[in-house]
């Protein structure tokens, strides 16, 4: 039975993941939507989660670790959102949480298909969290985010808005994010994460020369499944964001970005040590 869960809910990071789902859908979508997929998916997070898991097992060979990677692109439906069965596609204003189902999903059959995919992932995630956190283990929710915090409306003009924001003369005006952000608290400042894991991650990553923040980009929002799991299993989880340029060879926001193995390993080693220290 696993005692550690590493979840990557935005684990669809390759062009083939987007293309496969797009072929399964029947509706019309913006021609440049694939560009939004590349800029808005957690590149490097799946590789980081796997390397942390392997390092933990290498240090403790009798230990069982589960890695859960979602391959449903959040471009269509976000598997880190609390989505009801009767949910409808919507947009979000600048600075708001991005939707569970995006406004460009207009075909009723597509919506039904995407909600079924979401439901299947959520059911599996709930089962694993119960198996791990419900029995005293820990879960690390692994994400990556773009180097700069860019707030634009998420609607059918999203790619045009992002391309404008990423223009060379404008990109520097957006705030640079922390190298690693620990999303440990809810919007009211209540800590939901594992105190031991937060402490050890801060110690290990800080010791490795990485700049850390705590809820610098955002707090653990109630619309997310991460919040739902952290609330159900208080003190048993930690959600973290790693800046994407620390995990890829070159940050290219509107094109596919392969993870860089050496950069991933630089983060994985101290994270694994933090997990091992936090779990005894």
Domain ranges of the chain: 4-278
Beta-carbon contacts of residue 267 (< 8 Å; ≥ 6 apart): 48, 180, 205, 210, 242, 246, 247
Residue labelled with tokens 């995919």: 117
pLDDT of residue 92: 87
pLDDT of residue 95: 77
Number of H helices, E strands in the chain: 9, 6
The overall pTM is greater than 0.75: yes
pLDDT of residue 2: 95
Query: In this model, does residue 280 exceed pLDDT 90?
Result: no
DSSP SS3 for 15: helix
pLDDT of residue 97: 85
- Model pLDDT for residues 207-264, shown as the tens digit of each residue: 999 999 999 999 999 999 999 999 999 999 999 999 999 999 999 999 999 999 999 9
Yes or no: is domain 4-278 CATH 3.40.630.40?
yes
What span, in angstroms and rounded, lies between the C-alpha atoms of 26 and 122? Answer: 24
What span, in angstroms and rounded, lies between the C-alpha atoms of 62 and 97? Answer: 40
Task: Categorize the per-residue pLDDT at 279 as very low, low, confident or very high, splitting at 50, 70 and 90.
Answer: confident
Positive or negative: CA dihedral 145, 150, 153, 155: negative
Q: Which region holds residue 25: left if phi is over 0, alpha if psi is between -120 and 50, else beta?
A: beta
pLDDT of residue 94: 80
pLDDT of residue 53: 98
Average pLDDT, the chain: 96
């Amino acid at each position: 039975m696993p005692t550690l869960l590493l979840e990557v809910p935005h684990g669809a990071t390759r062009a083939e993941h987007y293309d496969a789902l797009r072929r399964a859908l029947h509706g019309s979508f913006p021609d440049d939507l694939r560009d939004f997929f590349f800029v808005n998916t957690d590149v490097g997070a799946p590789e980081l989660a796997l390397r942390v898991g392997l390092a933990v097992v290498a240090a403790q060979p009798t230990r069982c670790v589960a890695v859960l990677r979602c391959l449903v692109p959040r471009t269509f439906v976000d598997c880190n959102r609390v989505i009801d069965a009767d949910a409808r596609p919507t947009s979000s204003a600048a600075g708001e949480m991005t939707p569970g189902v995006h406004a460009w999903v207009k075909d009723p059959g597509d919506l039904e298909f995407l909600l079924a995919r979401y439901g299947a992932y959520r059911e599996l995630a709930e089962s694993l969290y119960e198996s791990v956190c419900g029995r005293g283990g820990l879960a690390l929710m692994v994400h990556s985010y773009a180097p700069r915090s860019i707030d634009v409306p998420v609607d059918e003009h999203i790619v045009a808005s992002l391309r404008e924001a990423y223009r060379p003369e404008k990109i520097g005006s957006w705030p640079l994010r922390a190298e690693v952000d620990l999303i440990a608290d809810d919007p009211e400042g209540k800590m939901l994460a594992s105190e031991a894991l937060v402490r050890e991650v801060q110690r290990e990553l800080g010791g490795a020369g990485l700049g850390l923040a705590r809820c610098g980009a955002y707090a653990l929002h109630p619309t997310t499944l991460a919040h739902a799991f952290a609330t159900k299993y208080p003190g048993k989880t930690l959600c973290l964001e790693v800046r994407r340029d620390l995990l890829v060879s070159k940050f290219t926001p509107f094109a596919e970005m392969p993870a860089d193995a050496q950069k991933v390993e630089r983060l994985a080693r101290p994270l694994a040590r933090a997990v091992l220290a936090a779990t005894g």
